[in-house]
Structure 1
Amino acid sequence: MRTALLAGLSGALIVSAAPAAAAATRLELPAPTGPYAIGSTELHLVDHARPDPWVAGTTRELMVTVRYPARPGSGPKAPYLTPGAAKLVSEEDAAQLGIPANRLDYTFPTHARTGVPAAGGRRPVVLYSPSAKYPRSVGSAQLEQLTSEGYVTVAVDHTHEPAAVEFPGGRVERRALPPGTDGKKLIATRVADIRFVLDELETLTRGGNLPAGLSLDLTRIGMFGHSAGGFTTGETMVSDRRIDAGADLDGSMAYSQSARDYGQVADEGLDRPFLLLSAGDHSAASDGSWQEFLRHQQGPVREHHLPDGEHFSYTDYQALLPQLGLDPATLAPFIGTVDAESSVATQRAQLSAFFGCYLRG
């Protein structure tokens, strides 16, 4: 997604390593540092007015993870991925890494607990959209941190893009993007997904099925995303004024850089705050779509560059892959050579400062 949207649809992690011993590695996310415990619930949302664009004859369905500031206490920890989705996602990642599938167990516990009451108070909301072909779980460390600071975070799976999305009852929907997927159709579908989720959140605040004590302040909404998720954030903000501030984590705003076929957000800019986070050889200096965006942007802009990072440094892979004990050189094209702990801390600081300024004043 850094050079153009369509370039990112052809593949994901492209590294290889010698086969390792077939023993599962105990993975864990970096602990959040905010003052709140974290609660988590999953929502199954059905857009009865919209056919699914990727599977003919079906209705668009989404899975969403809502994390919220919770009261201290006990309760089962939410898994990183549910078992049905975890199996397929871990198999795909392991194949790309060149390691046995059972080295990766994505059902490991997160820092969020299910079935716990909210801490109380009206909370600003931050939505998250992942990169194309990736599940909503890949932003968990960033989302847990924001939740621990007092935000309600809402992570959205764009069904039929990731290797797997698991629905209630164990039903798993697999990737169904056709060869040569039209990037404009993909982004338009994602924007429609986010706008539908916003509609559903409004319905839930009027008496829907939310955890006890949870109150959403929908006058203060932010959004961020990685790669295509960052592009999705900008395009959604163009068409939906409910989002007050947005962030793009290393995502180009182009369908084709060479043809200068840019998204509407690049061609028009925004009148609301926006954060651009980049890594490695990607930045506004190298990305024509970002240059176009900055020429048209009327709202406040913040930029931060992670020179020793790489594209997927802005996902949980930054923290998870080093735990596998693989040769760092094989991971460098994916997460760079930056110290993982330092990278995570920097990202958290940037997102916290940005949303703290524009959603909490």
Structure 2
Amino acid sequence: GRVVRRTDEGVIPENAGADDIDKDAARIGKVWSDDDIFVMDQLQRLNENAASRFHNTLDLGHIGLFGHSFGGATAARVCKTDPRCKAGADLDGTLFSYQAEDTLTVPFMFMASEDCGSDCETMRQTFAASDSDAYFLMLRGARHFNFSDLPLRLSPLARLLFRVPGIIGSIRPQRGLTITNTYLLAFFDEYLKGDDTGLLNGTSPAFPEVEFKSHLAR
């Protein structure tokens, strides 16, 4: 290992205002988005290269992107700007103000934690203004990290302690991930494979924890 000196440029100041945070988010967001675009570029190159073992084997006409937290915001950004993204999903990722300028033109699903408050405002605005099919699902009893595997790796006592600051919610860890995975699969099956499971038609009695809203362009 090695020691790396931390500089002020590498952190957000403690007294940072909303404008400073937005600027940092825009800077970091571009790096993450460029990474996604780089991956798609490389896959396209492999697919087109006659010497590649993957030549003409990759289906790049049905690419979907999703992510949690900043990864979800990145998925939204890339799907707004790169036509190779055909559908996307954001798992409780706050969209910063710079992202409100572009309209979604591909199917997109937002999944949010309960009582996300102002953090969800830009997500709601983007959902309502979408030019394509869009979904906004709120998972009751969930907090930000219920959309990850963190709660599964915590002991019962640790889960209780993590609930105090609102990092994870009251929903059972496996239940939260089951709901998340089921809706993600149904969404991408419908918009990338053309398989309609019926789950996105409205509120499901199988998942009463989900507050379901849709904005259909068709």
Q: TM-score, normalised by structure 2?
A: 0.72
Kept in 2, the 8 Å contact 1:318–1:344? The answer is no
Match of 1:238 in 2: 80
CA drift of 1:327 comes to 4.2
Which string of whole-angstrom CA distances, capped at 9 and with x for unpartnered residues, describes residues 139-163 of structure 1? Answer: xxxxxxxxxxxxxxxxxxxxxxxxx
Q: Establish whether residue 344 from structure 1 lines up as the match of residue 186 from structure 2.
A: no
1:221/1:186 CA distance change after superposition, 3 Å: same
State the secondary structure of the residue aligned to 1:233: helix
Match of residue 98, structure 2, among 242, 248, 263 = 263
1:295/1:305 CA distance change after superposition, 3 Å: closer
Give the alignment of 1:105-124 within 5 angstroms.
Answer: none
CA drift of 1:267 comes to 2.5
State the secondary structure of the residue aligned to 2:131: coil
Q: For structure 1, which runs of at least 5 residues remain unmatched after alignment?
A: 1-83, 85-170, 255-261
User: Cα RMSD (Å) of the superposition?
Assistant: 2.8
CA drift of 1:286 comes to 6.1
State the secondary structure of the residue aligned to 1:289: helix
How far apart, in 2, do the equivalents of 1:197 and 1:186 lie?
Answer: 17
CA drift of 1:187 comes to 0.4
Structure having greater relative contact order (Cα 8 Å, sep ≥ 6): 1
Q: Establish whether residue 330 from structure 1 lines up as the match of residue 165 from structure 2.
A: no
Match of residue 44, structure 2, among 202, 208, 216 = 202
Match of 2:124 in 1: 291
User: Which protein has the bigger strand share?
Assistant: 1
1:202/1:314 CA distance change after superposition, 3 Å: same
User: Which protein has the bigger helix share?
Assistant: 2
Which string of whole-angstrom CA distances, capped at 9 and with x for unpartnered residues, describes residues 50-109 of structure 1? Answer: xxxxxxxxxxxxxxxxxxxxxxxxxxxxxxxxxx9xxxxxxxxxxxxxxxxxxxxxxxxx
Code of the aligned partner of 1:178: G
Kept in 2, the 8 Å contact 1:273–1:358? The answer is yes
How far apart, in 1, do the equivalents of 2:159 and 2:34 lie?
Answer: 39
Match of 1:282 in 2: 116
CA drift of 1:274 comes to 0.3
CA drift of 1:339 comes to 0.9
How far apart, in 2, do the equivalents of 1:344 and 1:220 lie?
Answer: 24
CA drift of 1:215 comes to 3.3
What fraction of aligned residue pairs are identical, expressed as a percent? 29
Q: Establish whether residue 178 from structure 1 lines up as the match of residue 10 from structure 2.
A: yes
CA drift of 1:233 comes to 0.8
Q: For structure 2, which runs of at least 5 residues remain unmatched after alignment?
A: 13-20, 195-218
Match of 1:218 in 2: 60
Number of matched pairs: 178
How far apart, in 1, do the equivalents of 2:26 and 2:145 lie?
Answer: 23
Kept in 2, the 8 Å contact 1:267–1:292? The answer is no
Q: TM-score, normalised by structure 1?
A: 0.45
How far apart, in 2, do the equivalents of 1:267 and 1:295 lie?
Answer: 13
Segments of 4+ moved more than 4 angstroms: none
Give the alignment of 1:63-78 within 5 angstroms.
Answer: none
Code of the aligned partner of 2:11: P
Kept in 1, the 8 Å contact 2:112–2:120? The answer is no
Code of the aligned partner of 1:331: F
How far apart, in 2, do the equivalents of 1:300 and 1:203 lie?
Answer: 30
